[in-house]
Chain A
Amino acid sequence: LAKTTQPISMDSYEGQEVNITCSHNNIATNDYITWYQQFPSQGPRFIIQGYKTKVTNEVASLFIPADRKSSTLSLPRVSLSDTAVYYCLVGDGQAGTALIFGKGTTLSVSS
């Protein structure tokens, strides 16, 4: 299972763009990259998933370079409610294979 490394914490202000980078040097050919958001005392919430290049949805963008050894979650114009822990996970695409959580990045957004 690929291991991921993220910054432990990040600080930002409302309205700014936040980019959280995740390293996954041992990512396998079949691995997808998925990001989750977790608020205290809640289960993680799916944010975005990608395999290569760029993926965008209504809440975030995911940038994946050609070598796929890292990925960057981009949150445009963050608000106070984006204060949470963000996890980057990689998986081999096989149903039944568990995803292992790293330590995650605690994002604190201030006014």
Chain B
Amino acid sequence: GAVVSQHPSWVICKSGTSVKIECRSLDFQATTMFWYRQFPKQSLMLMATSNEGSKATYEQGVEKDKFLINHASLTLSTLTVTSAHPEDSSFYICSAIQGTNEKLFFGSGTQLSVL
């Protein structure tokens, strides 16, 4: 199957700092990527849809100024958590669609811990 690489896998930061998470499709072009957030023992929650060359579409309740998404190329999308606070601590997962039949491939996730 297709490979989606996510980096870093784990990051600890101080409150008030910004953290950037990268998501790359290694062997296919991804016009669209998705960012999810997952709290312990809960399901994945969609945060935003990232389209190459255009602004991301955010789900209701997700602050676009806090979670900056950039999709500058067909193989790279980035999520920047700005001015992170402890409540932003979570597992962030990116995914990309290969083809048009809704087969999503996921990155390995990034565990963010804000102190």
Chain B residue at smallest Cβ distance from A44? B106
One of A16-24, A68-76, A91-99 at the interface: A91-99
Chain A residues, Cβ within 8 Å of B93 = 43-44
Interface size on B, residues (CB 8 A): 30
Q: Given known contacts A41-B109, A96-B49, A98-B34, is B104 in contact with A34 (CB within 8 Å)? A: yes
Are B49 and A93 touching (Cβ within 8 A)?
no
Are B100 and A100 touching (Cβ within 8 A)?
no
How distant is the Cα of A97 from the Cα of B34 in the complex, in angstroms? Answer: 9
Are A87 and B104 touching (Cβ within 8 A)?
no
Are B44 and A98 touching (Cβ within 8 A)?
no
A81-111 interface (Cβ within 8 A of B): 87, 89, 91-104
A-side interface mostly: loop
B1-41 interface (Cβ within 8 A of A): 1, 4, 6, 31-32, 34, 36
Chain B residues, Cβ within 8 Å of A104 = 43
B44-69 interface (Cβ within 8 A of A): 44-46, 49, 51
14 A-B pairs in the complex with CB atoms less than 8 angstroms apart: A42-B109, A43-B106, A43-B108, A44-B104, A45-B106, A49-B102, A49-B103, A87-B43, A95-B32, A95-B97, A99-B102, A101-B36, A101-B44, A104-B43
Leading 9 A-B pairs by shortest Cβ distance: A91-B102, A43-B106, A101-B44, A95-B100, A96-B32, A101-B43, A43-B109, A43-B93, A44-B106
